[in-house]
Amino acid sequence: MGLKLYKKDTSAPCRSVYMVLELLKIQDVEYVTMNLKGRDHFTDQYLNLNPQHTIPTLVDGNFVIWDSHAITTYLLNQYAVDDALYPKDPKKRAIIDQRLHFNNAILFTALRETMVPVIYDGEKTLRPENVAKIKSGYDFIESFLTGPWLAGDSLNLADICCVATISSLNEVIPIDKNLYPKLNAWFELCSKQEFYIKANVPGLLLFREMVKSAELE
11, 16, 68, 168: the active-site residue: 11
Buried b (16+ CB within 10 A) or exposed e, 73-83: bbbbeeeeeee
Other beta carbons within 10 Å of 2: 9
Answer whether the bond into residue 87 is a cis peptide, omega within 30°: no
DSSP-assigned beta bridge partners for residue 63 = 60
Buried b (16+ CB within 10 A) or exposed e, 128-155: eebeebbbebbeebbebbeeebbbbeeb
Residue among 134, 99, 104, 96 at smallest CA distance from 211: 134
CB-based contact 169:128 (threshold 8 Å) = no
Residues 6+ apart with CB under 8 A from 25: none
CA–chain centroid gap for 98, Å, is 15
The answer to whether residue 154 is catalytic is no
Residue among 133, 101, 138, 100 at smallest CA distance from 115: 133
Where in the sequence numbering do the catalytic residues fall? 11
